[in-house]
């Protein structure tokens, strides 16, 4: 799988400046249609992230990783137009475990005016007890609520005869707005609802992002973002060496700037690096991106 482009933490979006250029006109004038929102974790979350010495589709340093849980809480799914008129907004939040296979339906908005809705947004923020459980179980939701987590991941990574486990919970609250994606070779801002049809948008979660070696994609296409795990394993080796990598252990290990590039942002440790990358997990319709901000 091709590595996803890193969401820009400097809060810019190529399409936001020119709505007319990025939007599309509905193929049918007038009438109403539906907008469906789903979520999926793609193969990296469902099937794992392999080793790849070339660094194109897996860990460049030889690790093979499998997720056991990838828990995410979606909130505030909103469809609006370029003028800020809200066509629909979810009143509920949605709890999912994206290790569960296939795409999962979150919500369907009916009776939306058939037109371009350029301002699509959503949030990933700490779980609520009243959240709708889409996949996963009530015990996991209760754990998330009790700990104040918005994202929780657990799994293991193996290299040769060494296996390391991880159980990481994140309390980040993130707004994803100005979501855009490529469609038929053009960058499209938001969605287009057509008369009598259902437009489907996937709120994709990318499990490889926690392991990026850059916080922002390099403007030089020759410099690639790679997946690395050696330093996470080293954090446990330098900690209590019990085989489980904790966020605290990673927070005590400074980054090696010859391997990890914070892209001008404050991430002095491996732990801070991973916590910053947690905000980039959310995407739009696969590889599509959104403007990211802290709530």
Host domain of residue 93? 19-294
In angstroms, the CA 132 to CA 108 distance is 14
Q: Is the per-residue pLDDT at 157 higher than 60?
A: yes
Q: What is the pLDDT of residues 266-285, one digit of tens each?
A: 999 999 999 999 999 999 99
Q: What is the pLDDT of residue 22?
A: 42
Q: What are phi and psi for residue 141, nearest 5 degrees?
A: -60, -45
Q: What is the pLDDT of residue 29?
A: 56
7 belongs to a structural domain: no
243 belongs to a structural domain: yes
173 belongs to a structural domain: yes
4 belongs to a structural domain: no
Q: What is the pLDDT of residues 70-120, one digit of tens each?
A: 999 999 999 999 999 999 999 999 999 999 999 999 999 999 999 999 999
Beta bridge partners of 202: 38
Number of independent structural domains in the chain: 1
The answer to whether the beta carbons of residues 244 and 166 sit under 8 Å apart is yes
Q: What is the pLDDT of residue 12?
A: 37
Q: Is the per-residue pLDDT at 30 higher than 70?
A: yes
Q: What is the pLDDT of residue 185?
A: 86
For the chain, helix (H) and strand (E) counts, in that order, are 6, 16
9 belongs to a structural domain: no
Q: Is the per-residue pLDDT at 44 higher than 70?
A: yes
14 belongs to a structural domain: no
Q: What is the pLDDT of residue 184?
A: 82
Beta bridge partners of 153: 70, 168
Q: Mean pLDDT for the chain?
A: 91
Global pTM?
A: 0.90
52 belongs to a structural domain: yes
Q: What is the pLDDT of residue 183?
A: 82
Q: Is the per-residue pLDDT at 121 higher than 80?
A: yes
Q: What is the mean pLDDT of residues 40-59?
A: 96
In angstroms, the CA 227 to CA 210 distance is 9
Contacts of 10 (CB under 8 A, 6+ apart): 216, 264, 265
113 belongs to a structural domain: yes
């Amino acid at each position: 799988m091709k590595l996803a482009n890193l969401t820009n933490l400097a809060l810019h979006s190529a399409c936001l400046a020119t709505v007319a250029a990025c939007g599309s006109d509905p193929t049918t004038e007038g009438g109403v249609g539906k907008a469906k929102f789903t979520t999926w974790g793609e193969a990296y979350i469902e099937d794992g992230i392999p080793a790849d010495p070339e660094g194109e589709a897996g860990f460049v340093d030889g690790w093979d990783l499998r997720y056991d849980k990838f828990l995410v809480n979606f909130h505030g799914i909103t469809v609006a137009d370029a003028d800020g008129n809200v066509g629909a907004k979810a009143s509920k939040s949605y709890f999912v475990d994206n290790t569960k296979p296939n795409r999962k339906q979150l919500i369907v908005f009916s009776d939306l005016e058939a037109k371009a809705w350029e301002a699509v947004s959503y949030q990933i923020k700490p779980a609520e007890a009243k959240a709708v459980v889409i996949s996963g179980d009530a015990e996991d939701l209760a754990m998330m609520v009790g700990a104040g987590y918005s994202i929780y991941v657990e799994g293991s990574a193996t290299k040769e005869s060494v296996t390391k486990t991880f159980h990481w919970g994140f309390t980040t609250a993130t707004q994803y707005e100005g979501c855009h994606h490529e469609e038929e070779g053009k960058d499209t801002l938001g969605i287009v609802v057509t008369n009598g049809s259902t437009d489907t948008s996937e709120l994709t979660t990318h499990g490889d992002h926690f392991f990026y070696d850059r916080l922002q994609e390099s403007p030089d296409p020759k410099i690639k973002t790679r997946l690395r795990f050696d330093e996470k394993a080293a954090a446990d080796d330098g900690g209590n060496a019990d085989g489980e990598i904790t966020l605290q252990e990673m927070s005590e290990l400074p980054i090696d700037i010859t391997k990890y590039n914070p892209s001008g942002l404050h991430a002095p440790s491996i732990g801070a690096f991973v916590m910053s990358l947690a905000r980039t997990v959310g995407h739009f319709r696969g590889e599509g991106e959104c403007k990211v901000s802290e709530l």
